[in-house]
Each structure stands twice: as C-alpha cells, then as structure tokens.
Amino acid sequence: MNRRSFLWQSGGGFGGLAMSHLLASDGLNQPQAHLNGGLHHPAKAKRIIQLFMTGGASPMDTFDYKPELARLHGQNLGPSEKQEGFTAKPGAILKSPFEFKQHGQCGQWVSSVFPHQAKYVDELAFLMAMKSKTNVHGPGTYMMNSGFLLPGFPCLGSWASYALGNLSENLPTFVVLPDSKGLPYNQRGPFSSGFLPAVHQGTVIKTGSHEAVPDLFASKGFSFTNPQADHAGMALLNQINQAHATKHPDDSRLESRIRSYELAAKMQLSAPEAFDLSKETQITKKLYGLDQEITRDFGQRCLLARRLCERGTRFVQVWSGPQGATDNWDNHGSISKELPPIAASVDQPIAALIHDLKGRGLLDDTLLIWTTEFGRTPFAQGGDGRDHNGGSFVSWMAGAGVKAGTSYGKSDDWGYQTEEGTTYCYDLHATILHLLGIDHQKLTVRQNGIDRRLTDVHGHVIQEILS
C-alpha cells in the first residue's frame, strides 16, 4: 500500500497534530495554522454542536408565524389528493394552536412552546425557508446529514473529521448523543462515515451508560484484566510492536498502530473525566434542567456536549427524539397535544447551552446548529395533526462567524412552500464548511467514478447570515 493512500485512509484517526505531521509532505488536507485551523481560508469555527429534532419540527407552530392560517382555518384549500411522500390526503387549513410573539431586538416571532429560546433570539440566525427534496423521514434524515437521499454517504461530522481531524488526542473527534429512547431514523446511518474510513464515523455514546467510550476498559468478569495488567500489557505490546516494526522499516501502518495505542491510553485517562457530569455545579445542572424529569435527558446531553467541546471534541451531535411516531417531533396526531411536551424537553436545555457557551467564551469559535429533517403541512391531518412537508422548514445557527439576530428567507403565507431565500441542506452544509475554513467545492473524495462532495453538485455559502 502506498504511503499516500494509506495516510489518506487512516489520517484523521491520529488527531490533528499527529496527522498534520504525518501528512506534511503529502500536500493533502491539513489544517493550516495561519488559517486558524482552516483548510482553504481562515476558519471562524473550530467545533460544532448540532441539535437535531427528529421527526420534522413544525415551523408554523414554532418560529414561522403565519396569521393567514388563522384566517383560513378550516377551509379545504390544499391539494385534493395525497401527495408523493405524504402519509395521508391533506385536510383543511389548520391554524397554530399556540400564541406567537415577537422577541428581542431582532423581532423574531416565536411561539409559546419555546419561552426559553425566545430570550436568546438575538444570538441566533434563522434560515426561515429551508427546503428538502423528500417528505419521507429516512431519506430526509439522510439528506440533512449527508446531503444524499440514499444510504452510504458520509455525514457532515464525518467530513469534518476527515478534513480537519482532532482538536485533542484525548477524546473521539465526532461524538453522537442519541435520545435515551432510541436511535433516530436510519439507525446509525445518519452518523455513518459511508465510503470514508470507519474511523470518521460518529462515536455513539449512550448517556447513562457506565462507559464513556465503547470498550474504553475491559468489562468486569475477566480476572486477568486490571489496571496493572492492562498497563504492563500495553507496555509489553509496545515493546513487541517496536521490535516488529524495525524489521519492516518502510511500513508506516505499523508505526501508526503503535501510536494508536498511545492515544488509546490517553483517552482512557481523559474520557471518564470528560463524561462525568457530577463535577458540574448545582447551578449549572439546574440551568440545563437536570433537576426536572422532562428536561433531564436532553439537558444532560447538552451539558455533555459543552464539556466535550471544551475538551477538544470537534463535532457533537445531540438528537431529540427517537425514530417512530411518538416521543419526537413527528406530530401527525395532534400538534396541540404532541408538540408542547417534546418542545419543553429541549427548550430550557438549548437556552442553557447558548447561555453557557457564551458565558465561557466558547460561542466565539463554536458553531451551534438547530435543525430537523423537514417541516409539516399547513393542512390538518386527522384532528389537529400535521403531515410531513419538505416544502419549507426552519433551522437556526449561532456562534462562530454567524451574524446574530438575523433571519434569511421567507416561506409563503401558509408556510407550505419556500418563497424567498430558499436554502437546501447543500447551502447549510456549504456554510458550515465555510465557517470551518473549508471550501465545500474543494473537499472531495473520489468514489466509484465520482469526486464526491458533501454538497453533491450544489451549495452556496449563505453570506446573508455570516458576520
């Protein structure tokens, strides 16, 4: 195997420093110090926390105020047939059951389901007219994560890991914190590294599990494993591998494996502390809602995301809601009954995260993203539920390089389709890569005949929301 292709495949696994050292002579991707860690231009963001609302968060019941729906409530004005990707024939126009008010200096409308986030709208930049190419959860979730409707493509976090490597050798580069009730649609698909090496996939951490990182230590019940045996074993292994490597002096893979055990040992020292929330103050815990049943799960994971970012994890993805039709944002049955509890479970923790990141100065070089896979219909399904709608939905960004208190794009009067400033996942991803110092058109990997990009053949950096 040639050194170049080997390094290409294994590179990101060593962590930023080691990788840039190894790759120095190869002229491949490498974070540039003079570009603040960017690849192609100066980076504004060093790390990312992405909050993903599984199921399709309703725009017209959260951030996209539509008075027209109240006026036309109950009238059958939508399509008369079931649309491709809808689960049922659309019903009558359905007004939002929640009260909307304008907030902050920017005057962003927010409904009563998000009282806490409403206080921070001046920190956020809203994409009010995001569009998907599908109305189906699985493909929609793939699309928002990997830019493709089909399985097998690397997600945003994997591309970031591949392009930039680690900020710290002590923790995994890309951590995924799924809802304690279960994995999102497509199971581990949304955090897959696809055709990139497996080392770039998201490391899934179940909160509440006794182990910070999978296989960090041997499980109990094996008498021959204990700290002394493990430590001496690693040392002996190093000795054996060093001796072996001297017989194969040109094989850099052997060196890399030796190094990987050193990193593993570092991770064993650092990870338990990073994942231990008990050292946080009561005030912080309360801020994130750890003292309340409804916010505890998401709050713990937001707090963990902050701790991991502080300690050098590049990309943390926090999911709200499992796959399925309950306990998430897929409110087919009743917006008035199903949305408030799931909204309440994330609202205070998200506000806390913004507040906390800001207070610690992390928001300056951390990008915070709130998104979902698509929106919902302005038409009723059943009584007062809403069906899937890729026509228009809302995402927001905050932090590094983002123009706070702005909004871009506009949906039509019903919130059914986008009208102005339409953005797709491609534009969102191009913008995120841009903030990481990466030109989305230049980050490519050849796979089965195509130079693949996160943004496929699309994508524009959304300059309007950049500071």
Partner 1 sequence: MISRLFVLVFLPLIVRADEFFLTKVEPILRERCYQCHSHEFNKIKGGLSLDSRSGWSHGGDSGPAIVPNSPEESLLIKAINYQDPDYEMPPKEKLSGEEILILTEWVKKGASDPRVSQIKTIDTDWWSLRPLKAPIVPRSGHPIDAFIEHSLEEAGLKPSPSAQSTTLVRRLFVTLHGYLPRPEEIHDFVNNTSPDAFKNLIDQLLKSPRYGERWARHWLDTIHFADSHGCEHDVKRPHAWRFRDYVIDRLNADVSWDRFIREQIAADYFYPSQPELIAGLGYLAAGPLELSRAGTAPLTFDYLDRDDMVTQTMASFTSTTANCARCHSHKFDPITQEDYYCLQAVFAGVGKGDIEFERSNEVMTQRQELEELIDAAARLDTKILLQEKYRATVDQWIENQIQKEVTWQTLTPEIFLASGGTNLTLEKDGVIFAGGHLADQETYTVSGQVPPKKISAVRLEVLKDERNPKGGPGRAGNGNLHLSEVELQWFEHGSATSLPLKISQASADFDQEGWTSAQAIDGDLQSGWAIFPRINESHQIIFELETPIDTSKGGRLVVTLKQQHPPKHLIGRFRISTTQANAEAARLLSSEAQQALKEAPLKRSQHQNTLLASLALKQHAQKSLRLLPSKEVVYGVSSSWSHAKKLPTPQAPKTVHFLRRGSIDHPMHPVEPGALSALNHFPARFALDPQESEAARRAALANWIAHPQNPLTWRSIVNRVWQYHFGRGLCETPNDFGRMGSLPSHPELLDWLAIWFRDEAKGSLKDLHRLILTSKTWQQASVPTPNTNDTDNQLLWRMNSQRIDAETLRDSVLHLANRLDFTMGGPGIEQFQKSKGPQATPVLDYRSFDWNSPEAARRSIYRVVWRGIPDPFMEAFDFPDLGILAPKRGFSVSALQSLSLFNNEFILHGSQWIARELQLKSSNLTTQVDQLVELIWLRQASTDEQRALSKYAQEFGLAALCRVLLNSNEFLFIQ
Give the residue among 262, 256, 34, 274 at the shortest CA–CA distance from 169.
Answer: 262
Q: Does residue 253 belong to the site contacting partner 1 (CB under 8 A)?
A: yes
Q: Which residues of 336-365 are buried (b: 16+ CB within 10 A; e: fewer)?
A: eebbbebbbbbbbbbbbbbbbbbeeebbeb
Which of residues 32, 36, 87, 336 is near partner 1 by CB under 8 A? 87
Contact positions with partner 1 (CB under 8 A) in 35-54: none
Q: Does residue 267 belong to the site contacting partner 1 (CB under 8 A)?
A: yes
Q: 182 by DSSP, 3-state: which? A: coil
Q: Does residue 448 belong to the site contacting partner 1 (CB under 8 A)?
A: yes
- Kindly indicate which of the ranges 178-186, 286-294, 349-357, 435-443 contains the residues binding partner 1, using the contact rule CB under 8 A: 178-186
Q: Does residue 86 belong to the site contacting partner 1 (CB under 8 A)?
A: yes
- Kindly indicate which of the ranges 60-68, 249-257, 288-296, 399-407 contains the residues binding partner 1, using the contact rule CB under 8 A: 249-257
Contact positions with partner 1 (CB under 8 A) in 353-392: 388
Q: Does residue 2 belong to the site contacting partner 1 (CB under 8 A)?
A: yes
**What is the nearest approach in angstroms of partner 1 to the Cβ of residue 233?**
5
**What is the nearest approach in angstroms of partner 1 to the Cβ of residue 373?**
11
CB–CB of 327/181 below 8 Å? yes
Residue 91 has a CB neighbour count (10 Å cut-off) of: 19
Residue 247 has a CB neighbour count (10 Å cut-off) of: 8
CA distance 442 to 172: 25
Contact positions with partner 1 (CB under 8 A) in 306-335: 322-327
Looking at the DSSP bridge assignments, the partners of residue 446 are: 451
What is the per-residue binding string for partner 1 in 411-430, x denoting contact by CB under 8 A? --------------------
Pairing of strands 410-411, 406-408: unpaired
CB–CB of 396/78 below 8 Å? no
**What is the nearest approach in angstroms of partner 1 to the Cβ of residue 193?**
7
**What is the nearest approach in angstroms of partner 1 to the Cβ of residue 422?**
13
Contact positions with partner 1 (CB under 8 A) in 116-175: 134-139, 141, 149-153, 169, 172
**What is the nearest approach in angstroms of partner 1 to the Cβ of residue 263?**
4
Instruction: Give whole-number Cα distances, 385 to 90, 315, 376, in Å.
Output: 11, 34, 9
Using the minimum distance from each CB to partner 1, give the nearer residue, 96 or 317: 317
Which of residues 257, 286, 311, 410 is near partner 1 by CB under 8 A? 257
- Kindly indicate which of the ranges 63-71, 97-105, 255-263, 356-364 contains the residues binding partner 1, using the contact rule CB under 8 A: 255-263
Which of residues 41, 181, 311, 410 is near partner 1 by CB under 8 A? 181
**What is the nearest approach in angstroms of partner 1 to the Cβ of residue 357?**
26
**What is the nearest approach in angstroms of partner 1 to the Cβ of residue 452?**
11
What residues contact residue 212 under an 8 Å CB cut-off, 6+ apart? Answer: 205, 271, 272, 274, 275
Using the minimum distance from each CB to partner 1, give the nearer residue, 147 or 399: 147
Looking at the DSSP bridge assignments, the partners of residue 111 are: 100
**What is the nearest approach in angstroms of partner 1 to the Cβ of residue 125?**
24
**What is the nearest approach in angstroms of partner 1 to the Cβ of residue 317?**
17
Contact positions with partner 1 (CB under 8 A) in 185-244: 185-189, 192-195, 197-199, 201, 203, 213-219, 222-225, 228-230, 232-234, 236-237, 239-241, 244
Using the minimum distance from each CB to partner 1, give the nearer residue, 114 or 191: 191
For residue 438, give both structure tokens. Answer: 């990466």
Helix, strand, coil distribution of the chain in percent, nearest 5: 35, 20, 45
Q: How many angstroms separate the first and last alpha carbons of the chain?
A: 45
What residues contact residue 292 under an 8 Å CB cut-off, 6+ apart? Answer: 299, 348
Give the residue among 320, 385, 448 at the shortest CA–CA distance from 94.
Answer: 385
Q: Site size for partner 1, by CB under 8 A?
A: 98
Which of residues 102, 382, 450, 463 is near partner 1 by CB under 8 A? 450
Query: Residue 99, class by beta-carbon neighbours within 10 Å (0-12 exposed, 13-18 middle, 19+ buried)?
Result: exposed
Q: Does residue 77 belong to the site contacting partner 1 (CB under 8 A)?
A: no
Q: Does residue 248 belong to the site contacting partner 1 (CB under 8 A)?
A: yes
CB–CB of 365/45 below 8 Å? yes
Q: Considering Cα of 346, then 349, then 352, then 358, what sign does the dihedral take? A: negative
